[in-house]
Amino acid sequence: MISREPTLERLPIARQLLLDPFGLDEARLERALGAIGEHRVDDADLYFQISA
């Protein structure tokens, strides 16, 4: 069965692997996107990558 909301199911994994180890949280990401938005951009994304 395919989940209707795979992003929400993956959020705990993203927190564990990408956010928590680097002291990031959702509030900090919101502030980063807000700072980008201050420069009259139409849209912005944050991309994260880890390598083993």
DSSP assignment of 30-46: HHHHHHHHTT--S----
Compute the average pLDDT of residues 13-20.
89
In the numeric block, the tokens 């949280």 are attached to: 25
With 0.85 as the threshold, say if the pTM is over it. Answer: no
Residue 8: what pLDDT? 78
Q: Is the pLDDT of residue 49 over 90?
A: no
Rg of the chain (C-alpha set): 13
What is the rounded end-to-end Cα distance, in angstroms, of the chain? 30
d(CA 30, CA 33): 5
Q: Where are the domains of the chain?
A: 1-52
Mean local confidence (pLDDT), 27-41: 88
